[in-house]
């Protein structure tokens, strides 16, 4: 049995894919979300998800490491990995563009990467899905921000456990409890089929070495023994509900923009959160003057469905008057953004309690 938690229609299929022109962006693929909880496993997922709609290419950009704050997060992750896996052979499944893999290699780790969408030149990264047929095994698996994209996460972990013949695993995913507590409706999007709580990850394994929260509570992690993976939950799982006013903060943003048109406004952050936020503002009948991102690969390009153009920080600061309203999509970066912009704007951390 499943029960419904949340519905959304017309979401970008790939919210981190950017486009060369506004027309292509507005015509890009969309799909619906029907978020449900499975009452037996307790897992929360999009029952309307269709993996065949997703196709990753060079126009897909989700690199966050341009930020010093995010680099600090990666250093925290390395500290956990060092505690459990130092001196061991590692495989990073879903290594993406390879930033974290290169960081670990630079620190002396022996690590192989696997990702069919990898675009770099490192010969130790295999451009393929992780299967037993590759004949690869290591002491430990690193799985960062992959499991939320996989349609049947427990079966996927079972494939890894079989192919690797057990071993240890580090898993990192976004935290659903944080999304609900902060009423971050803009953190729900099509590309993430699964939404995990810490208890969900703990229930999956018989032996858990360490588990907790990272990145200001926005991410979960667990270090566990792969050979103790459980395919079926052993105990009943409590029913989850969303806050009644889960998406009410959208109205506040609309009011701020409408009440001060002369000051101007911008969204800071053109990744997943900013893509959803700009789209919903547009559907509510308002538009910000700028969408800003520090990732050069996004600048001058256009966001899916909304067709909003991404500005560099310098371009935005040249155009926005002092006192403009800046909607900061991730409060982890708020102080970094204030420093970068000299404190000249009115800053709204849209995921903070004060904005709810």
Domain identity same for 284 and 220: no
Give the C-alpha separation, 174 to 149, whole Å. 11
Domain identity same for 349 and 214: no
- Quick check: is 68 in a domain? no
Instruction: To the nearest 10°, report the CA torsion of 312, 278, 323, 331.
Output: -80
pLDDT of residue 298: 93
Domain identity same for 254 and 216: no
- Quick check: is 24 in a domain? no
pLDDT of residue 1: 86
Residues with Cβ within 8 Å of residue 137, at least 6 apart in sequence: 91, 163, 164, 165, 167
pLDDT in tens, the chain (356 residues): 899 999 999 999 988 889 999 999 999 999 999 999 998 899 999 999 998 888 655 455 555 555 677 889 999 999 999 999 999 999 999 998 899 999 999 999 999 999 987 888 889 999 988 888 888 999 999 999 999 999 999 999 999 999 999 999 999 999 999 999 999 999 999 999 999 999 999 999 999 999 999 999 999 999 999 999 998 777 788 899 999 899 999 999 999 999 988 899 999 999 999 999 999 999 999 999 999 999 998 999 999 999 999 999 999 999 999 999 999 999 999 999 999 999 999 999 999 988 87
pLDDT of residue 118: 86
By CB atoms closer than 10 A (0-12, 13-18, 19+), residue 191 is buried
- Quick check: is 23 in a domain? no
Provide the token pair at 262.
Answer: 């002369």
What are the DSSP calls for 59-122, one per residue?
A: TB----TTSHHHHHHHHHHHHHHHHHHTTSEEEEET-TTSHHHHHHHHTT-EEEEE-TT--S--
DSSP code for 51 = G
Pick from 260, 330, 263, 256: which is nearest to 292 by CA?
Answer: 330
Domain identity same for 139 and 224: yes
Residue that is last in its domain, among 198, 228, 258: 228
Instruction: To the nearest 10°, report the CA torsion of 6, 12, 13, 16.
Output: -120
User: Could you tell me the residue range of the domain that residue 102 belongs to?
Assistant: 79-228
| CB-CB contact of 188 with 6 (8 Å) | yes
Total of domains in the chain:
2
- Quick check: is 32 in a domain? no
- Quick check: is 102 in a domain? yes
CATH of the domain at 111: 3.40.50.150
Domain identity same for 197 and 266: no
Domain identity same for 161 and 265: no
pLDDT of residue 236: 80
| CB-CB contact of 305 with 25 (8 Å) | yes
- Quick check: is 182 in a domain? yes
Q: Where are the beta strands (DSSP E) in 200-328?
A: 208-214, 219-225, 265-268, 290-292, 310-311, 325-328
Domain identity same for 91 and 191: yes
pLDDT of residue 269: 96
Domain identity same for 90 and 212: yes
């Amino acid at each position: 049995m499943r029960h419904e938690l949340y519905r959304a229609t017309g979401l970008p299929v790939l919210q981190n894919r950017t486009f060369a022109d506004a027309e292509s962006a507005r015509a890009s693929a969309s799909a619906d979300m029907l978020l449900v909880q499975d009452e037996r496993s307790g897992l929360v997922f999009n029952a309307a998800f269709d993996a065949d709609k997703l196709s990753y290419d060079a126009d897909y950009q989700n690199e966050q490491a341009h930020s010093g704050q995010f680099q600090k997060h990666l250093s925290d992750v390395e500290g956990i990995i060092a505690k459990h896996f130092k001196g061991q052979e590692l495989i990073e499944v879903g290594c993406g563009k390879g930033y974290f893999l290169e960081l670990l290699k630079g620190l002396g780790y022996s690590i192989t990467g696997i990702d069919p969408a990898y675009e770099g030149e490192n010969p130790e990264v295999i451009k393929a899905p992780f299967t037993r047929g590759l004949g690869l095994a290591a002491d430990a698996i690193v799985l960062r921000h992959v499991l939320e994209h996989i349609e049947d996460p427990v079966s996927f972990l079972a494939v890894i456990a079989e192919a690797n013949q057990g071993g240890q695993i580090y898993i990192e995913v976004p935290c659903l409890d944080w999304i609900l507590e902060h009423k971050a409706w803009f953190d729900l999007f099509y590309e993430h089929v699964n939404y995990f709580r810490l208890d969900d990850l703990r229930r999956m394994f018989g032996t858990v070495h360490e588990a907790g929260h990272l990145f200001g509570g926005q991410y979960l992690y667990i270090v566990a023994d792969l050979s103790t993976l459980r395919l079926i939950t052993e105990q009943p799982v409590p029913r989850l509900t969303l806050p009644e006013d889960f998406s009410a903060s959208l109205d506040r943003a609309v009011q701020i923009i409408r009440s001060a048109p002369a000051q101007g406004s911008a969204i800071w952050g053109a990744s997943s959160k900013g893509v959803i936020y700009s789209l919903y503002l547009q559907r509510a009948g308002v538009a910000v003057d700028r969408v800003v991102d520090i990732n050069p690969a996004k600048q001058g390009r256009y966001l899916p469905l909304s067709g909003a153009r991404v500005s560099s920080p310098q371009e935005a600061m040249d155009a926005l008057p002092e006192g403009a309203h800046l909607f900061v999509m991730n409060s982890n970066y708020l102080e970094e953004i204030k420093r970068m912009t000299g404190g000249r704007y009115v800053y709204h951390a849209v995921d903070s309690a004060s904005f709810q």
